């Protein structure tokens, strides 16, 4: 049966109510989504780098910058090795000649300056202050030595580069004296009888104290002991108004003593000693002889063998040396240049023979 007019009116009456309900429901869901969604702050867009800068960075990262790109052909390689060899060998010969022109006299005296009755107990001899430590040595000059002639003392098997030894000092105290309290690293030579030690530490405590006098014929040679330390050390590391205080007054005496009326900046033997050596065998400057020594001159050295190297098996040597434009006697730079130059020439010859051989094989293959 077809629907009656009352039924159709009822369905038409409920249609707008359903649409209204759906509209309210959708708006509520949208409002809940807006509340639950996190707020996102807008940031300014990143500033773009200039175009030229981007291109430059791109060229750098891609290794496209303009540069010299030599083509290493066999001819260029052979000529380069030959050039290095021909330059290095003459330089090595010049350095070697300069080193060989230095006249050097080396005399080890630590064993011969021990009396015969103490040969088996050297340590007991050096520690006993009742026995005299004076000793006489004779040096003969074989070649003419032009002034200035440098006097060095050389110590072997002496590890001044030991970590605890190197740190046992106070640079602030050396510069400012008793006004500095940064002396904790100086132990055990930090204080004595409740009073601070200036200069403190094991480095200063073990100061070398052998002395030398040189006699030629009947006259004593004058030894200049001024300006033997670095000027920068004298001016900037050791105070001009800092004086030794309570130094070497303990029961255990290390090395030499210092004049308490002379500031540290003027005690250059201490300044030289405080610049610690990197190797166990080293030389330190003692002074200079300001006059020439002729060939066949006989030099008598009166020395005081005070310093204890017997307790650790060390050696003491006296060195007289001239100098050249290269410095003291040192053959290593000359031999190094000669070795590298010779090696380059040998490599160049080998490459040349290989290049000739490969060229012939290539021509034979083409034919």
Mean pLDDT (the chain) is: 85
Q: Could you tell me where the DSSP H helices lie in the chain?
A: 5-36, 51-61, 74-100, 122-127, 163-167, 171-176, 202-205, 231-236, 268-274, 332-366
Distance (Å, rounded) from C-alpha 73 to C-alpha 80? 11
Do 162 and 280 touch, CB atoms closer than 8 A?
no
At a CB cut-off of 8 Å and minimum separation 6, what does 359 contact?
Answer: none
3-state secondary structure of 199: coil
The sign of the dihedral angle between the CA atoms of 178, 187, 272, 222 is: positive
| pLDDT digit string, tens, across residues 308-353 | 999 999 999 999 999 999 999 999 999 999 999 999 999 999 999 9
DSSP string, 46-115: PPPPPHHHHHHHHHHHTT-S--------HHHHHHHHHHHHHHHHHHHHHHHHHHHT--EEEEE-TTTTS-
- From residue 303, give the alpha-carbon distance in Å to each of 17, 74, 113, 135, 149: 126, 64, 9, 5, 18
**Under-50 pLDDT residues of the chain:** 1-17, 21-22, 24, 29, 36-37, 39-40
Distance (Å, rounded) from C-alpha 367 to C-alpha 119? 85
The distance in angstroms from the start CA to the end CA of the chain is: 112
| pLDDT digit string, tens, across residues 242-295 | 999 999 887 777 889 999 999 999 999 999 999 999 999 999 999 999 999 999
Q: What is the dihedral of CA 225, 231, 232, 237, to 10 degrees?
A: 40
ω into 327 cis (within 30 of 0): no
Which pLDDT does position 12 carry in this prediction?
A: 39
- From residue 239, give the alpha-carbon distance in Å to each of 35, 82, 302: 76, 55, 33
At a CB cut-off of 8 Å and minimum separation 6, what does 151 contact?
Answer: 212, 223, 285, 286, 287, 288, 289, 318, 319, 320
Do 285 and 208 touch, CB atoms closer than 8 A?
no
Give the single-character DSSP code of 262: S
- Among residues 117, 259, 235, the alpha carbon closest in space to that of 175 is found at 235
| Chain mean position to CA 304 | 33
Whose structure tokens read 């434009």? 325
Reported pTM: 0.76
- Residues linked to residue 221 through DSSP beta bridges, in sequence order: 214
3-state secondary structure of 29: helix
Distance (Å, rounded) from C-alpha 252 to C-alpha 270? 19
DSSP string, 164-195: HHHHSS-HHHHHHGGG----GGGTTSSEETTE
Which pLDDT does position 187 carry in this prediction?
A: 85
Q: In what order do the strands lie in the sheet with 134-140?
A: 134-140, 298-304, 211-216, 219-221
Do 292 and 147 touch, CB atoms closer than 8 A?
yes
- From residue 192, give the alpha-carbon distance in Å to each of 35, 188, 195, 252, 313: 80, 9, 5, 11, 29
Distance (Å, rounded) from C-alpha 224 to C-alpha 209? 17
The CB density around residue 1, as the number of other CB atoms within 10 Å, is 3
Q: Residues 128, 133, 138, CA angle at the centre, nearest 5°? A: 155
Which pLDDT does position 10 carry in this prediction?
A: 39
């Amino acid at each position: 049966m077809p629907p009656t007019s009352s039924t159709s009116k009822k369905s038409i009456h409920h249609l707008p109510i359903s649409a209204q309900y759906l509209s309210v429901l959708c708006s509520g869901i949208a409002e809940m989504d807006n509340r639950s969604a996190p707020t996102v702050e807008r940031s300014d867009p990143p500033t773009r780098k200039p175009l030229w800068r981007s291109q430059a960075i791109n060229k750098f990262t891609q290794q496209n910058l303009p540069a010299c790109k030599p083509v290493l052909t066999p001819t260029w390689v052979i000529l380069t090795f030959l050039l290095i060899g021909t330059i290095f060998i003459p330089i090595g010969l010049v350095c070697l000649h300069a080193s060989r022109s230095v006249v050097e006299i080396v005399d080890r005296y630590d064993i011969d300056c021990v009396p015969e009755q103490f040969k088996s107990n050297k340590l007991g001899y050096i520690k006993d202050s009742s026995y005299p430590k004076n000793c006489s040595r004779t040096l003969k000059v074989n070649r003419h030595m032009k002034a200035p002639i440098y006097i060095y003392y050389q110590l072997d098997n002496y590890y001044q580069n030991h970590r605890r030894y190197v740190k046992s000092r106070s640079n602030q105290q050396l510069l400012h004296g008793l006004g500095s309290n940064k002396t904790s690293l100086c132990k055990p030579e930090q204080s004595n009888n409740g009073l601070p030690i200036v200069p403190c530490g094991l480095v200063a405590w073990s100061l070398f104290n052998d002395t030398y006098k040189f006699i030629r014929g009947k006259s004593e040679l004058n030894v200049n002991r001024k300006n033997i330390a670095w000027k920068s050390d004298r001016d900037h590391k050791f105070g001009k108004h800092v004086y030794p205080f309570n130094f070497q007054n303990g029961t255990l005496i290390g090395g030499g003593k210092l004049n308490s009326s002379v500031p540290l900046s003027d005690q250059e033997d201490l300044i030289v000693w405080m610049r610690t050596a990197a190797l166990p065998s080293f030389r330190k400057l003692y002074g200079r002889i300001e006059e020439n020594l002729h060939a066949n001159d006989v030099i008598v050295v009166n020395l005081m063998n005070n310093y204890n190297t017997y307790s650790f098996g060390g050696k003491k040597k006296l060195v007289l040396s001239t100098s050249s434009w290269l410095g003291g006697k040192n053959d290593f730079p000359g031999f190094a240049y000669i070795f590298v130059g010779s090696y380059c020439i040998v490599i160049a010859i080998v490459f040349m023979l290989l290049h000739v051989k490969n060229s012939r094989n290539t021509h034979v293959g083409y034919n």
